[in-house]
Amino acid sequence: MKRELGIARCGLACCLCSENDRCGGCDSGGCPGTQWCFNRKCSAEKGLSHCYDCEKDCKEGMFSKIKPLGFTEFARRYGESELLGCLERNERNGVVYHREGIIGDYDDFDDTEALIAFIRTGKR
Ligand code: SF4
Ligand code: SF4
């Protein structure tokens, strides 16, 4: 885990991304989403560094997917540092962020609260 890369604007974990050897995150221009990403543009226009700092109950752009939605809600409640700590511990215990392509152990959820509980405990 490259903790220094932190969490993207949309909540995705740049620190654990399988592409992070050639992409430094949202503001590096390296993210494949840069051209089309609603959340990157919208948060920048609002002067926010991350969507987790936004008070809107938002389902736009990347928030149609459970992983950015759950990670953002986690960071909103407990803070980015706590999120990074949990992700680091879970990785040590064998949880894989990108197992096949960009799909991994945090993607197999239908419910945001269940995903948040998994991030916190590392247990399903
Ligand atoms: S999808 Fe958008 S917000 Fe998410 S990492 Fe890429 S550019 Fe950043
Ligand atoms: S409105 Fe949505 S996309 Fe825009 S900054 Fe807020 S949470 Fe992010």
Percent of the chain at pLDDT exceeding 90:
89
Q: Is 72 in the pocket of ligand 2 (CB under 6 A)?
A: no
Protein residue closest via CA to atom 2 of ligand 2: 58
| pLDDT(29) > 90 | no
Q: Is 62 in the pocket of ligand 2 (CB under 6 A)?
A: no
For the entire predicted model, the pTM comes to: 0.95
Q: Give which of 89, 61, 99, 95 is closest to 8, Cα–Cα.
A: 61
Interacting residues of 64 by C-beta distance below 8 A, sequence separation 6+ = none
Q: Report pLDDT digits (tens) over 62-121.
A: 999 999 999 999 999 999 999 999 999 999 999 999 999 999 999 999 999 999 999 999
> Probe ligand 2: pick from 7, 9, 46, 56, max atoms within 8 Å of CB?
56
Protein residue closest via CA to atom 1 of ligand 1: 33
| pLDDT(59) > 90 | yes
Secondary structure (3-state) at 97: coil
